[in-house]
Chains A and B, each alone.
Chain A
């Protein structure tokens, strides 16, 4: 019979590459940087690794000559020269990073391996064009093609405004508060991609990308990698005292019926609701807003953060505007959201994001946030929300990482 996964697996080392337009780095460079960063943090060597999990969607043939296999386990074996170790490639869209960590954690808990490596990586800036390009490569020749991610997320903003009685101006103002906060947080985070402080006015006057979303409502296109070293909780003390435990993991893959069924209204992420439910049950969370100290959520767009926080049960539906106005989601608020700068300003290299979000939680829990000014106080439990797909058809992973009780 299945038993609770809570506190069975520990994170004992984490690393993260610089996030940004890494013109001078291939995916292999970022994999090496993040992995050695994590090994050093755990105080181990490459030969200590029993098995690996790599999360990448292999965006437009991510890689270099060294990782030309792109979407196989060789993506990390080749650059790291892992000597004939088992490596599994995990791909679940933008939820890839957390799902890779999830599967690696399960193998450790099953006592198949003692020490495992998880790497999330995406190289996006080798395509020759801005943005991610159009979606639909290639689900279907004509159905839902010729559209982009901002265009699809904007559908949610339009309906959210309508449902909660916000005029487009009021709605856009609410969204602007999210982006101003993300940029402010990123401005103090040395590894973040977009570190410029912005004002509400700038956000509102920026060019429209996909109405109602403007330039500053959208995350940039970022290269990066994150890595984690996992072991069983009982072995964690061999590596360090300030290890972090996996308290809960949830994954929900939607049947993609939001664009088919008329009862889906685009203002809630159902997959997030389900993934959170699984993770909360595992971790024994009853009142998420009270029990969770801070959140790294999937804010690919400003509207995404709002609906994600509501779907996670951290804010009443339709009430995000009150939290944003009161500053509840800032560093000083009762539930800081995206202290790192989030996908919006830290960056969103697709397969890397889940690992990068875990990196932020891990460092904050240890009291080791780079730049002391952004260290959150007295935090014991953080949440990672890592989501793929588009409104109506998501794949969502939720991770709860915390200090030992």
Chain B
């Protein structure tokens, strides 16, 4: 038997109110807000967050593969999944791949993972989807798009969600697209997208599934499906015979926004958080065709409840107060910056140090037992040479021993909060505090690790760990 064995999600800390957009551009202010990735986040870093959430309390060395779905890969050439796998500290003898270019990528990856486990080539396969789509300023998409990530673990044992059936359609349909040379997505006329694309494809896949498995809306406790926009989402549910009040999963449009290839999976995570053993869920995704699954929740679901998931991530938030800040975060303008030397980077150094730069390993001295970060050759406590075990520190909490708020350091989000963190169980981390409210920082406050994009020196995405105040 193959099924979903765990779930996780991530929503960035910052929310921009649709009111802020209306104040910037004029016009009617929609209700609600959308999640905006911090300046040091991208689809890759968000995928590490949802993946870690999904694997909470699990042995990461048991994972046999990782598929990463996104339409906004940090690297256009060079695999992103291999970076995520290293960051979340998976084994080396695993399968990794990126599923890019379609908002349906998440379920395409899910299907591939199910097939891999079903065929016996893997026992546990992680699927992460994340998007950080930058809409054109003052466009309809700007009020719609949000950033976020979800992850599902597919396995052959301890199944929390059984997969009772599935169907797929591949369809050539030009609704929303972005060419290599485009900065923002383009779209054809809305009515064409809605009638011939969104509604038509989802109706087709659902009716195919209903026929194939002889089921009807009454057989499902929840219908979780891709939303093009809020209105059409409700319309489709009604058309298919679902009760919009009780049977339809909220598409998160007024709270997170449309998260592209992560959207349907994030909705599924939200549904699973509320699901009871025995619930049957109809799960459907759209984009260049459609995918649909019949899912059945088992008793095992109770064992994977300690996730941040959607609920806790939604509750933990900070207001992004101005559009100017947002412009900085997404680097949407040409800036008059202070003259400064270029950020240093070296692929060779980052590669040599990958075990601590990416996997966040510290050294534990076999002689004196102390933990130190970064990894050392000679013990800083007892001076023993090369006698260490590697230990992963990224899943430990820490306390902020001391800090400062640096206005001189170049940053799109001043001040840079320099942080000296004492790690639970030993070791100290000299780092930057991100996702912070500068009014609410104090020495000895608890913090946690988070993986971020640090700078772009030498044309490289230079990633590293930071800390943040513990979320929710």
Contacts and interface: CB of A to CB of B under 8 A. Distances in A.
A159 B402 contact: yes
Interface of A: 60, 127-131, 133-134, 136-138, 140-148, 150-159, 162, 207-213, 255, 257, 259-262, 264-266, 392
A138 B380 CA distance: 22
A166 to B, nearest CB: 12
B418 A262 contact: no
Contact of B405 (A128, A153, A210): A210
Given A142-B350, A158-B443, A134 B410 contact: yes
A243 B432 CA distance: 50
A262 B443 CA distance: 14
Given A133-B341, A211-B404, 20 more contacts: A128-B339, A137-B341, A137-B344, A138-B344, A142-B454, A143-B430, A146-B411, A146-B454, A148-B408, A152-B418, A154-B405, A154-B418, A155-B403, A155-B404, A158-B402, A159-B401, A210-B408, A257-B380, A259-B420, A262-B427
Contacts of A261: 370, 372, 380-381, 428
A133 B376 CA distance: 28
Contacts, number: 149
A145 B344 contact: yes
A211 B438 CA distance: 11
Interface in B373-392: 373-374, 376, 380-381
A287 B196 CA distance: 90
B340 interface: yes
B464 A260 contact: no
A141 B427 contact: no
Interface in B310-341: 338-341
A360 to B, nearest CB: 28
Contacts of A264: 428
A142 B406 contact: no
Contacts of A148: 406, 408-409
A137 B458 CA distance: 13
Contacts of B277: none
Nearest to A132: B408
Interface string B354-376: 00010000000000001011101
6 contacts: A129-B339, A141-B357, A162-B443, A210-B405, A213-B404, A264-B428
B125 interface: no
Given A142-B350, A145-B454, A148-B408, A260 B428 contact: yes
Nearest to B431: A144
B48 interface: no
A391 B310 CA distance: 41
Interface in B391-440: 401-411, 415-416, 418, 420, 422, 426-428, 430, 432
B403 A158 contact: yes
B188 to A, nearest CB: 42
Contact of A140 (B349, B380, B460): B349
A129 B340 contact: yes
B381 to A, nearest CB: 7
Contacts of B405: 151, 154, 208, 210-211
Contact of B404 (A134, A157, A162): A157
Nearest to A143: B374
B426 A262 contact: yes
